[in-house]
Amino acid sequence: MSDSHGKKKALGRGLSALLDNSDQENTHKEISGAYMSGTIALVPIGMIEPNPFQPRVHFNETELAELAASIQEHGIIQPLTLRKIGHDKYQLIAGERRLKASKLIGSTEVPAYVRIANDEQMLEMALVENIQREDLNPLEIAISFQRLLEECRIKQEELSQKVGKDRSTVSNYIRLLKLPTEIQVAVRDNLITMGHARAIINVEDEKTQLLILKKILERKLSVREVEETVRNIGREKVTPSALHDSPLPGKFEKARNSLHEKLQSKVELSVNRKGAGTIKITFKSNEDFDRIISKIDS
């Protein structure tokens, strides 16, 4: 990456925040092994070797292209896991699809958890301790659970005992990682709750999941309203196409058209069943913004 702005975009907001306090010298120390387990480092792709024990050989090119587009838009949400095997040499433990997709968009470095060869016990302790923190969002907890299962080879029953949560709770967190990237980002950024995400998981079709997310954000739907929507889809009372924008009630449609005519800009208006909603006005430049404000003030 050529500048700090590009680096933050590639990482995504959550990961860049973790690295914002690290200057270049500290980042170099992290990837050379002088760090605590769990630290996220930016590692040059050219230093990463494939895992010789990776059983998966063939990757769906369409899915890789979709993942690459997602990474370009949202960054890598779940860092790769690498094992340090020498000076400036790392071996991939987990995240081959993310690595391949990053190469497709020309990334030169990726965020990764870097592990020393025999630090499994230390990693387990660090992750279990990390999960107990109160400031973690559900996606961060899900990623920690997944790392314990994959990298520390802990079974789900043992994991639930270690973190003091029942198996169904652990399973619900891990299922978040099966959701489309856009929904994971919404959970990470606290735009929707764990309850919203759990309801969406019960919808099998990804396009329908994303339509439900759009409605949650536009109409500020409660978890109960989302659960009811999902139940109705299951009973075929609501078809996926019905989730697309429906006509606004008369006075809201009239108000939107009136605003559009006055401001000469695109105006979007959404309203929920309780009468609460949002108005979105699009502007193209600083000058256009000033023009709109002057019309509103007049």
| Catalytic choice (49, 61, 73, 96) | 96
- The sign of the dihedral angle between the CA atoms of 106, 112, 118, 121 is negative
Report yes or no: 66 and 210 within 8 Å, Cβ to Cβ.
no
Q: State how far the Cα of 77 lies from the Cα of 244, in Å rounded to an integer.
A: 28
- Quick one: 186 exposed, middle or buried, by C-beta within 10 A (0-12, 13-18, 19+)? buried
Q: State how far the Cα of 116 lies from the Cα of 269, in Å rounded to an integer.
A: 53
Q: Residue 172 corresponds to which tokens in the numbers above?
A: 């619900």
Report yes or no: 75 and 110 within 8 Å, Cβ to Cβ.
no
Is 96 annotated in the active site?
yes
Q: State how far the Cα of 77 lies from the Cα of 11, in Å rounded to an integer.
A: 7
Catalytic residues: 96
